[in-house]
Amino acid sequence: MEVDKELLKHVAEVARLELTEKEIREFLPQLKEIIEAFSEIQKVDTKNTRPSYHPVELKNHVREDRAASCLTNEDALKNTEHRKDGYFRGPRIL
């Protein structure tokens, strides 16, 4: 697989990052080197091995269906600069 400028720009766009030309020049050889080193992992035989999404065995915790206190509207909006009528105000969609 070719790790090139186009792929890097595409991945950055998916991640909502705008890279400058200087950043692209710096990151590209670094990412090539890292991805090549990480590709080594494909040598491990993992046939019939289940993936571990967590390191310890976990069970689903189901809580009782009861009313409990939660974040107030005031607290939820406490850290935003963009609020209107008790809601978050975001950038335009269209």
Partner 1 sequence: MNAAEFVRQAKSGKIDPVKNTKKFLEESKKIDSDYHYFLKFNEDAPKQAKELKKGRLYGLPVSVKDCICVKGLESRAGSKILEGYEPVFDAAAIEKIKAEGGVIVGKTAQDVFGFGSFNVNVGIGYKVPKNPFDKTRATGGSSGGAAGMVQKSELPHIAISESTGGSIAAPACYCGVYGMTPTYGRVSRYGLMDYANSMDKIGVMAKDIEDVALVMEIISGYDERDSTSKDLPAEKYTEKSDSRFRVAVVKESLGKGVEQDVKKNLIAKLGKLKYEEVSLPLTFRYGIQAYYLISLSEASTNLAKYCGMRYGKHEKLEGNFNEYFSGVRSKNFSKEEKRRIILGTFARMSGFRDAFYMKALQVRTKIIEEYRQHFRKYDIVVTPAMPNIAPKFSEIDKMTPLENYMMDIMTVGPNLAGFPHLSMPSGFSKGMPTGMLIIADHFQEKKIIDFARSLK
- Token pair, residue 62, equals 């189901």
C-alpha 44/C-alpha 76 separation (Å) is: 46
Phi, psi dihedrals of residue 32, rounded to the nearest 5°: -60, -45
Q: Which of residues 46-65 bind partner 1 (CB under 8 A)?
A: 46, 49-56, 58-61, 63
Q: Which of residues 69-88 bind partner 1 (CB under 8 A)?
A: 71, 75, 78-82, 88
Q: Which of residues 23-42 bind partner 1 (CB under 8 A)?
A: 23, 26-27, 30-31, 33-35, 37-42
SS3 22: helix
SS3 69: coil
Q: Looking at this protein, which amino acid is placed at residue 40?
A: E
Is 67 a binding residue for partner 1 by CB under 8 A? The answer is: no
Interaction site with partner 1 (CB under 8 A): 1, 8, 11-12, 14-19, 23, 26-27, 30-31, 33-35, 37-42, 44, 46, 49-56, 58-61, 63, 71, 75, 78-82, 88-94
